[in-house]
Structure 1
Amino acid sequence: MKTLGLIGGMSWESTAIYYRLLNEIVRERLGGLHSAKLLLWSFDFAEIAERQHHGDWDGAGALLADAARKLEAGGAQGLLLCTNTMHKLADQVQAAVSIPLIHIADATALAIKRAGMQRPALLATRFTMEQDFYKGRLAGKYGLSPVVPDAAGRAMVHGVIYDELCQGIVSEASKAAYVAEANRLRREEAADSLIMGCTEITMLIGPGDFDIPVFDTTRIHAEAAVEFALD
């Protein structure tokens, strides 16, 4: 089994889910007392979020690249950025190391393609919904046509992530708002599926809340990582 290096803490709420999923999936695959071989670098998310919201992506990228180098030096054989948004800096992180970065958007796109879907609704941070690093990869590399909420919807989805989920707050009102927004995208934008495109969203909604295919990026990323580790 290869050792996986996790760049986490963005937020720790979803990194804890990664840790659980990686170990559960390895146990399911191998049985008995098996668990995942993991190294974790966990950031103080306030330091990252401040750079995000001030547009200091170069500064954030330098921090992530340094963490990646330290994980590689510690024995990691593959890397996971335990966040969708910070895959904006995936190329910078990959360039800092010689071990592979398992890209969350690639794993998600492959799952969508396998399911035969084409036009997924994307709920995520404002950065992921508005910038091209994620949507553009889904479209350009995989031929998908992701759709996102309007400005008011994006503000709501983003606010719930940072003001609630990243702080461990799970609200029924916010869940209802997310479900309503996804249903609106299905009705008005012909979305045929849903990407839970922030790793914290799995705390709030899940496949049981919808009658269209739902792609949980946290689980999909963890499954792809275990495939790599056990290959």
Structure 2
Amino acid sequence: MPTPTHLLYLHGFRSSPHSTKARQTQARLHAINARRAAAGRPAVHWLCPQLPPSPRQAMDEVLRSVEGVEPARLALAGSSLGGFYATYLAHRLGCRAALLNPAVNPARDLRAQIGVLTAWHDPGTSFAFTAEHVHELRDLEVGDLSLAVPDPWRYLAVIARDDEVLDWREMAARYAGAQCCIVDHGGHALVNYATEHLDAVLDFLGVGAPA
């Protein structure tokens, strides 16, 4: 597998590039890039945009940001709703994705969130999540959500049985055949991500070594 030139991290619903897992991933990639520089290798570019509330707009913006990047050179990571987005992008573009407690059916689950919401990392910022946004999520579904995702070899899924937001059984069924790491503890936030899962995520995506 060619070494990626770009690593795109997609945050979850109401989240941001300031999420703990995003910052931990960026910090680890920074250390890897330092070793790559010492070995005379080019850096892997970090992309972690603030995603707008509209799923359609979010994916349009992301696709523009990676236009011209070869699929084999693009690595994706996504948490929760970001995992749903990463699944859509991996399927559309033909690249690999690491998913952290990925949302399987956000159109169903987020319907109850329609209204004016605040951002987790900036409570002073509010945004409207609408019925149209729910319809846009349905447009991004890859195949039948009750079946295993197509081309499961593209995915690594880290799934916590004690996820208090999403059903781990639904996640495991959706990513059957993928490289699944199903763990007992960590919760929806995967609080042990940096110590127990991050290295495996980067290795799967091909950016874990400075070669």
TM-score scaled by structure 2? Answer: 0.49
Structure whose residues are more often strand by fraction:
2
- The structure where helix makes up a greater share of residues is 1
- TM-score, normalised by the number of residues in structure 1: 0.46
